[in-house]
Amino acid sequence: MIENNINYYKKISDEALSSLTSNQKYKFAVNEKLLQNNISNFMKIDDSTASKELIDKYKKDMRKMFNTANIEYNKVFNKLNATDDEVLKQKILNDYADNGIIGFKAKNGARWNIETYSNMYTRHVNNECVRNSVLEQSKKQGKEKVKISTHGTKCDLCKPWEGKILTFEELETAKSAGLFHPNCLHIILFVVERIKF
């Protein structure tokens, strides 16, 4: 799934740059087939209310990303057409290529290129669906705790929780403190009760 995303967004980035270079307009459009395929894969992992809400937000945000990309593209296109200076035109093209096509602007002003953002977001939703699935299954089985995976993280948001067994309430506290942030590799594990002989 992620590989399909990577290939698609690389392809449209290349097409957009090629269009700019030849002074042609380009329109970013949602690849409905890819989007629906991703959503279908997410739903196979988990169809809980939490995952459905997350998937709905993902769908809206991915569509919004294309609007942002179109706006950014048109700004660059207009800059190119506003000058006859070939050196300046090349600099504008180089800057656009180096930064990647902006698909998302964070509240703090950070700008994410369309390839990085779409791939990070798709991976994050996938991981969240996996975590939600384990959480839902734990609740259905009457378990009261889950375990956070361990992989020797250096992330200050995750480190306090790594390898810990948490109640559902403690898990919510950990999430509020930053656990399971975008690009987080931690997963939720079932707590296996030891059998006493």
Residue 194: the pLDDT is: 66
**Residue with more model confidence, 197 or 34:** 34
- State which of 119, 152, 170 marks the end of a domain: 119
Residue 105: the pLDDT is: 86
pTM of this prediction? Answer: 0.86
Q: State which residues form the domain around 161.
A: 143-190
Q: Are residues 30 and 71 in the same domain?
A: yes
Residue 66: the pLDDT is: 92
Evaluate if residue 49 carries a pLDDT over 80: yes
Residue 183: the pLDDT is: 86
Evaluate if residue 197 carries a pLDDT over 70: no
**Residue with more model confidence, 2 or 18:** 18
Amino acid code (one letter) for 139:
K
The overall average pLDDT reported for the chain is 91
Residues 54-73: tens digit of each pLDDT: 999 999 999 999 999 999 99
Q: Are residues 107 and 49 in the same domain?
A: yes
Domains: count for the chain: 2
**Residue with more model confidence, 5 or 195:** 5
Chain center to CA of 37: 15
- State which of 62, 85, 119 marks the end of a domain: 119
Evaluate if residue 125 carries a pLDDT over 80: yes
Residue 121: the pLDDT is: 93
pLDDT band for position 196 (cuts 50, 70, 90): low
φ, ψ of residue 118 to 5 degrees: the values are -65, -40
Q: Are residues 111 and 175 in the same domain?
A: no
- The H or E element containing residue 81 is helix 49-81
Amino acid code (one letter) for 125:
V
Residues 140-153: tens digit of each pLDDT: 999 989 999 999 88
Q: What does DSSP assign to residue 195? A: P
Q: Are residues 177 and 102 in the same domain?
A: no
Residue 86: the pLDDT is: 93
Q: Are residues 54 and 86 in the same domain?
A: yes
Do the Cβ atoms of 112 and 99 come closer than 8 Å? no
What's the rounded mean pLDDT across residues 131-142?
Answer: 92
Flag whether 79 is in a domain: yes
Q: Are residues 52 and 115 in the same domain?
A: yes
Q: Are residues 12 and 61 in the same domain?
A: yes
Flag whether 158 is in a domain: yes
Evaluate if residue 192 carries a pLDDT over 90: no
Helix (H, G, I), strand (E, B) or coil at 145: strand
What's the rounded mean pLDDT across residues 110-132?
Answer: 92
Q: Are residues 37 and 114 in the same domain?
A: yes
